Amino acid sequence: MSLTRDEQSKRSKLVVGGVISTPLAVVAVVLAAANLRAGISSLGAVLKQVMVSFQAPASVAGLLTAMPGFAFAIMGLAAVPIARRIGLSVTLFAGMAAMLVGLAFRPLIGAYLPGGMSTFLVLTALVVSGIALLNVLLPAWIKQHAPRRSVVLMSCYSGFLGLSGAVAPLSALWFSGSEAWRPALGIWATLAVSQAIVWTLVLIRVGVDKPAKPAAEKYADTASNSSASRADAEVGCDMIAETSLWRSPTAVAMMLLFGLQSSNAYVQMGWLPQMYIDQGVVPGRAAIGLSVLGTVNVIGGVSMPFLVARIRDLRPVIVLFGALTTVGYLGIIFAGDAVPELWAIVLGLGGLCFPTILALLAARTRTPEVTARLSGFVQPYGYLLAGILPLLIGFVYQATGQWLLILIAMALTGVGMSALGYRAGKKVYIDDELVR
């Protein structure tokens, strides 16, 4: 039975939501991205204080640094199905609410609220679960609500995500004393409040904005509107919706590359200050080193989406990022206490692989539905890989008390990034690979 025009209009509004202005989209994306690393990298700078406060071993520290990867994997798999049911913006808002609860109450445990390390772990899980939802769905939200501004908004997203990682470790320097970790972590709850306010306005404006499914018109031959071409396009859309992303070599390469790069990111955010401290660097300078690394990520976050859109062959660029990652770890091995800021810069340049992959999620797909599927494939499985390495590092560090073997292993991950990046950087559309 055919739908009336009013019914079609109502159904369309249910799927795509209302129109959102560019200024509101920019503010919403900036605030969403600005807290995506603060809840993690701020902990890395005060990790030793937290462990002492709760009398926890290094293996628990390894669990804390691994938790983002595992939580991102679990929540990432659920993100797209949830968004399809209740809408992108509602799901994003729920993630921000979880972040707010975790960031606000985590610093109070053991001093103002009952509980110990187990409660701290639960609240940290809330923080990273909320971050996971935003990481997976924000690129699709941008594609849905501002497709003509996607490059600009992805630059804002990646740039402020990097800024979050750069500024958050410095909160360890703003407070003093054995309990300074509490305000250093708690201060980021104020930003989460701002997120909630702005995204409440977004929810009012867009309503229920389920991810738009691939339109057959986008796959039809633009030179012909014949029934045959439209029928072929509809078949192509069905194939895209039903075909597993494991069938796409580019998607698989992107997922593995994302896993290796994210492993490096969480090892650096969680352990880099301690690596420096154990080599004789004072704690304040070690925290600054992590901040320097994040600052380099800011520059890359702003520039890489534009470069991805303009560079025809990204493979040499991503290979270079992997090589820089290897050089950075080797530098820490041989001269970590001499010039810690230099190796932080080199590792930060290698970390530009992260905004490159984020930009590729939108640049290598044609529709919001496929963007959401790709993001929901690359990030959960990639983060599952990313959770394993920090956890192992915690156990190895507890057993040996040394960083040499760990740093050699991390240097080898840079080689793997270069190899995977050569395949992932190929300029193809995932949609097209799914219909072959």
> What structural domains and CATH numbers belong to the chain?
20-216+228-434 (1.20.1250.20)
Task: Give the mean pLDDT of 241-269.
Answer: 89
Banded pLDDT at 94 (limits 50, 70, 90): very high
Residue 15: pLDDT over 60:
no
Question: How many of the other CB atoms lie within 10 Å of CB of 428?
Answer: 11
- State mean pLDDT over 55-84: 86
Contacts of 78 (CB under 8 A, 6+ apart): none
Percentage of residues in the chain having pLDDT higher than 90: 36
Residue 219: pLDDT over 70: no
What's the pLDDT band for 5 if we cut at 50, 70, 90?
Answer: very low
Q: Is the pLDDT of residue 223 over 50?
A: no
> How far is the first Cα of the chain from the last one, in angstroms, to the nearest whole number?
33
Range with the poorest average pLDDT among 100-109, 142-151, 196-205, 410-419 = 142-151
Q: Quick check: 76 pLDDT over 80?
A: no
Statement: residue 276 has pLDDT above 50: yes
Instruction: Give the separation between CA 236 and CA 247, rounded to whole angstroms.
Output: 15
pLDDT at 174: 85
Provide the pLDDT confidence category of residue 234 given band limits of 50, 70 and 90. low
Q: For the chain, what percentages of helix, strand and coil (3-state, to nearest 5) are there?
A: 80, 0, 20
For 25-54, what is the mean pLDDT? 89
pLDDT of residue 212: 62
- The answer, yes or no, to whether residue 6 has pLDDT greater than 70, is no
> Taking each helix axis from N to C terminus, what angle separates 38-45 and 88-105, rounded to the nearest 10 degrees?
20
Contact 3, 235 (CB under 8 A): no
Tens digits of residue pLDDT in 104-149? 999 999 989 999 999 999 999 999 999 988 988 888 888 888 888 8
CB of 84 within 8 A of CB of 140? no
Q: Please, what is the Cα angle at 374 between 301 and 325, to 5 degrees?
A: 40
The pLDDT score that the predictor gives to residue 343 is 96
Q: How far apart are CA 147 and CA 254, in angstroms?
A: 22
CA–CA separation, 245 and 161 (whole Å): 27
Task: Read off the pLDDT of residues 379-391 as tens digits, 9 standing for 90 and up.
Answer: 778 888 888 888 8
| Angle between helices 38-45 and 249-278 in degrees, nearest 10 | 30
Alpha-carbon gap, residue 41 to 170, rounded angstroms? 10
> Which residues are CB-contacts of 145 (< 8 A; sequence separation ≥ 6)?
17, 20, 25, 206, 209
Predicted local confidence at residue 14, as pLDDT: 39
Burial 340-351 (b: 16+ CB within 10 A, else e): bebbbbbbbbbb
Percent of the chain with pLDDT over 70: 88
pLDDT at residue 17 is higher than 70: no
Specify the pLDDT at position 229: 47
Residue 110 identity (one-letter amino acid): G
> How far apart are the C-alpha atoms of 228 and 396, rounded to whole Å?
61
Mean pLDDT lowest among 9-18, 152-161, 225-234, 374-383:
9-18
Rounded to an integer, the average pLDDT of 370-381 is: 83
Quote the mean pLDDT of the chain: 84
